[in-house]
Amino acid sequence: MSDTLTEPRIRIADPETDDNEVAHIVKREAANAGYIGQEMIEALCGFKWIPNKNPENLPICRKCMYILELYRNGELN
């Protein structure tokens, strides 16, 4: 498994579901850019936002989880 992939989970309110906050999964590179530069980053599921919080015991975005499994299974690069 590549360690350049995933792991940071960033808290964000997902407007597509409801008012509940979920933790999206992003690639490490993207997470670093977002934290350091306050730039807009993209989660595995395609959701884009400027991260402003750290995840804390939030449910993981289902789309991100699904895509992460594809990466782990080698179906995506």
In the complex, least distance from residue 73 CB atom to Zn ion, rounded to whole angstroms: 18
CA 48 vs CA 13, 30, 67, 68: distances in Å: 11, 11, 15, 17
Smaller CB separation from Zn ion, 33 or 60: 60
Residues within the interface to Zn ion (CB under 5 A) = 24, 43, 45, 47, 61, 63-64
Nearer to Zn ion, 41 or 45 (CB): 45
Q: Which residues pair with 21 in a beta bridge?
A: 13
In whole angstroms, how close is the CB of 60 to Zn ion at the nearest point? 8
3-class SS of residue 42: strand
CB of residue 34 to Zn ion, shortest distance in Å: 14
CA 24, CA 49: separation in Å to the nearest integer?
10
